[in-house]
Structure 1
Amino acid sequence: MTATAIKPSIKKTSVKETLLTPRFYTTDFDAIAKMDLSLQEEELKAMIAEMKTDYNRNHFVRDEDFEKNWDGIDGKNREAFIDFLERSCTSEFSGFILFKELSRRLKESNPILAEIFHLMARDEARHAGFINKAMSDFNISLDLGYLTKHRVYTFFKPEWVIYAVYLSEKIGYWRYILMYRHLERNPEYQFYPIFKKFEHWCQDESRHGDIFNALLRSQTSMWKGWKAKLWSRFFLLSVFATHTLTVHERADFYTSVGLDTQQYDREVTINTNNTAAKAFPVILDTNHPKFFPRLEKCSDYNLQMSNIDQNINNKLVKFFRKLPLQIAIFWNLLCLYLIKPIETEELRGVVR
């Protein structure tokens, strides 16, 4: 019997809450049920047929590569990897909860959406369960049932859900595929077998993103007009800022797999932005000379605030120490939002 088999496993019932922690969402289910899908109905039906094929049904299986003692991964690398797994599991499980509830609520009123959300929930549950099982190799796991009942849910309007989930799935694709390609070229950094699963994993993410692209394109107001352009810029910037802050805050993990944190963050952002040209009326100008420097300033300020949280206990002192940093982050994000965006009509069909 291996050493890991006899060690007690810690079952976590909570995840440390920060601004960067993956959220659990709810929405106006009645409004989604009434959505007119006629502009994209045939495409959505084709996507249902593809999802039913379930190309990855036999992929997420723990093979002999997992049957090892993982005590050799220790110190900062172990802590950083567990944190990566925990965030990933929470994010996937959040998607499962949202899609499952959408499927349940729409079963009678909108069977097409109900079925497609059911199939996406299947994928997200598979991902979350696989990651949680991986965490158990390090003697820890998340109590997903407890999280379902006790986690705070954030309300998002249906159009916000569509914008946000589309970008979440597409940025997830680029995060996984870029890391997978890097580890294929540099196998010496592939210290745990879950990395080998990322190629198929990101295919699920991309398919889910394509489904939300079809939902977005079925609603003319979401891709035509000045409001659509403003919301597109807002969600693009929100997702990219969150990614930059998260990646730099967890630089230890990316260093442990041989990635340059700044380069990886920039590549993920640029590729996701270009992909969004297929869905959004505008994308951000990531080539602007101030774009990444301002994003990375926000990351620096966020790291300073984390340091204040760790080293100062007095709430009043902490508030006044963090306030100028929060203002600086807001100012830099506002400046980024005001950079002239790129109209995508002429780009559509050129980028993937």
Structure 2
Amino acid sequence: MQATSSVRAQCLQAQSPCRPAAAAGGRARHGPMQPMRAAAAEGELVDDTGFKPASSMRRGVKKAAKETILTPRFYTTDFDEVDEMFSLERNPDLPMEELTAMLAEMRRDYNQKHFVRSEVFHEAAAAIQGSLRRTLVEFLERSCTAEFSGFLLYKELGRRLRGANPTLAELFSLVARDEARHAGFLNKALGDFGLALDLGFLTKHRSYTFFRPKFILYATCIAEKIGYRRFITMYRHLQRDPDHQLHPLFEFFENWCQDESRHGDFLAAVLKARPELLRGLEARLWSRFFCLSVYITMYLNDHQRPGLYQALGLDTTQFDRHVILETNAAAARILPEVPNVGAPGFWPAMDRLVQYNAKLLEIDGWEGPELLKKLRKAPYMERTVAECVRLFVGPAIRCGSLDIEGAGSYQY
């Protein structure tokens, strides 16, 4: 595990982990906020970052970002199958001890009064201009969409399980409560930039991706764990380096992370309640697949938008590697198998994916016939798929929860 140790050492330096050398000069100063201006084409309103409202009649309501394979998705599942899996009547021996203990924890609602805004939010938004303003708006939108997506899914799971498993139903409802609180807080932060998402419109008009219940559990468990690690890494870095405290939102990340950590532990407990999801070849393959899916999505997304991390005094690559290393170690405590992110070829493969994605984005921005665009993109799409397959069949680590009989012991 020499590669793992090397990267970990780079990202855990005493003063400021993941910090680029060029960031030492502190935060750039920004001018006053620019007003909304009218676009020349068709009278459509556009703010100073170039974002379009949902319609010219609804000033300040942002048009949702175009859906791509990397954008946060809205999920649905087979709720009848969920009922079958967790019904106490059909599964009288379902282990509920850990979930019952977590319910008492979640009911305390430690962050009920934490997310309280002040006038500094609007002042901070007014001070951020230029490309950084656009980058921060994109970050807020993506984060808000992801949290709201989680709220919708967890709320529906809580509603559907009410009769079959009241304890699990209430837990999902309480997780939905937290996600809704996060989404609302982020949307209000967007409002400081003169933009906001119409969450009701998103609920009705966003396309939904269907995943079977077990896939939902794998994906959301890893997503909550990586969300915790991202936010806590940012928070700790900014506590060491307050000159890069770009926006007051980041000061809320410590308590926010407590929610993310509890959510990850809850979903791990749900997985352990169905041991077949953590045992056997199929479980190992799906665990590896969803780990890689989450890691690759984050790595490509962040490298598309390095400006935010530079403004925070972070090096995007070192930050992402640190987050993936720590998330993989956390996932190894529950999942039966995780990718070996310390293998010699892992990070070079991830960096090649970044290069291919940059080429695809470049071609997307090219003004030419769609057919020619597709032909130009084909070789990069092929290389991207091939690289993902190589990562999937590459070295992996057998691990897993010691609570599950027959799982590989945790030796990450």
**Deviation (angstroms), 1:222:** 1.0
**Deviation (angstroms), 1:73:** 0.5
The counterpart of 1:140, out of the listed 192, 195, 199, is 195
Q: Give CA-to-partner distance per residue, 1:10-30, whole Å, 9 cap, x none.
A: 102522211111000000111
CA contact under 8 A between 2:151 and 2:175: conserved in structure 1? Answer: yes
Q: Give CA-to-partner distance per residue, 1:270-295, whole Å, 9 cap, x none.
A: 11100001111111111111101101
Alpha-carbon distance in structure 1 between the residues aligned to 2:317 and 2:328 = 16
The counterpart of 1:23, out of the listed 73, 95, 98, is 73
The counterpart of 1:262, out of the listed 317, 324, 346, is 317
- What's the Cα RMSD here? 1.9
The counterpart of 2:356, out of the listed 283, 301, 304, is 301
Q: Secondary structure of 1:154's match? A: strand
CA contact under 8 A between 1:39 and 1:217: conserved in structure 2? Answer: no
- Residue 129 (structure 2) pairs with residue 58 (structure 1): no
Which residue of structure 2 aligns with residue 223 of structure 1? 278
CA contact under 8 A between 1:277 and 1:348: conserved in structure 2? Answer: no
**Deviation (angstroms), 1:160:** 0.2
Q: Which amino acid aligns with 1:31?
A: E
Answer 1 or 2: which has greater helix percent.
Answer: 1
Q: Which amino acid aligns with 1:163?
A: Y
Matches within 5 A, 1:1-352: 10-36=60-86, 38-66=93-121, 68=123, 70-345=125-400
CA contact under 8 A between 1:40 and 1:215: conserved in structure 2? Answer: no
Residue correspondences, number: 349
- The answer to which of 305-314 and 68-77 deviates more is 68-77
TM-score, scaled relative to structure 1: 0.95
Alpha-carbon distance in structure 2 between the residues aligned to 1:83 and 1:70 = 13
Alpha-carbon distance in structure 2 between the residues aligned to 1:258 and 1:73 = 16
Alpha-carbon distance in structure 2 between the residues aligned to 1:78 and 1:104 = 39
Q: Secondary structure of 2:350's match? A: helix
Which residue of structure 1 aligns with residue 24 of structure 2? none
Identity %: 48
Counterparts in 2 of 1:14 and 1:70: CA distance versus 1, 3 Å:
closer
> Which ranges of structure 2 fall in alignment gaps of 5 or more residues?
1-31, 37-46, 48-58, 403-407
Q: Which amino acid aligns with 2:80?
A: D
Alpha-carbon distance in structure 2 between the residues aligned to 1:275 and 1:203 = 15
Q: Which amino acid aligns with 1:249?
A: Q
> Which ranges of structure 1 fall in alignment gaps of 5 or more residues?
none
Alpha-carbon distance in structure 2 between the residues aligned to 1:261 and 1:69 = 23
- The answer to which of 118-127 and 66-75 deviates more is 66-75
Alpha-carbon distance in structure 1 between the residues aligned to 2:352 and 2:140 = 27
Alpha-carbon distance in structure 1 between the residues aligned to 2:207 and 2:181 = 23
Q: Secondary structure of 2:123's match? A: coil
**Deviation (angstroms), 1:39:** 4.8
**Deviation (angstroms), 1:252:** 1.2
**Deviation (angstroms), 1:34:** 2.0
Q: Which amino acid aligns with 1:215?
A: V
**Deviation (angstroms), 1:350:** 7.2
Alpha-carbon distance in structure 2 between the residues aligned to 1:105 and 1:90 = 23
Alpha-carbon distance in structure 2 between the residues aligned to 1:34 and 1:285 = 34
Q: Which amino acid aligns with 2:285?
A: L
**Deviation (angstroms), 1:48:** 0.8
Which residue of structure 1 aligns with residue 13 of structure 2? none
Q: Give CA-to-partner distance per residue, 1:230-260, whole Å, 9 cap, x none.
A: 1111111111111111110111111111110
**Deviation (angstroms), 1:314:** 1.2
Alpha-carbon distance in structure 1 between the residues aligned to 2:293 and 2:63 = 28
Q: Give CA-to-partner distance per residue, 1:166-193, whole Å, 9 cap, x none.
A: 0110000001000111111111111210
Q: Give CA-to-partner distance per residue, 1:28-67, whole Å, 9 cap, x none.
A: 1111112247454011011111000000111111035325
Alpha-carbon distance in structure 2 between the residues aligned to 1:224 and 1:292 = 28
- The answer to which of 58-67 and 148-157 deviates more is 58-67
TM-score, scaled relative to structure 2: 0.81
CA contact under 8 A between 1:26 and 1:156: conserved in structure 2? Answer: yes
Alpha-carbon distance in structure 1 between the residues aligned to 2:124 and 2:271 = 46
Q: Which amino acid aligns with 2:182?
A: H
**Deviation (angstroms), 1:348:** 5.4
Counterparts in 2 of 1:348 and 1:276: CA distance versus 1, 3 Å:
farther
CA contact under 8 A between 1:13 and 1:147: conserved in structure 2? Answer: no
Q: Secondary structure of 2:75's match? A: strand
Alpha-carbon distance in structure 1 between the residues aligned to 2:315 and 2:123 = 28
**Deviation (angstroms), 1:74:** 0.3
Which residue of structure 1 aligns with residue 12 of structure 2? none
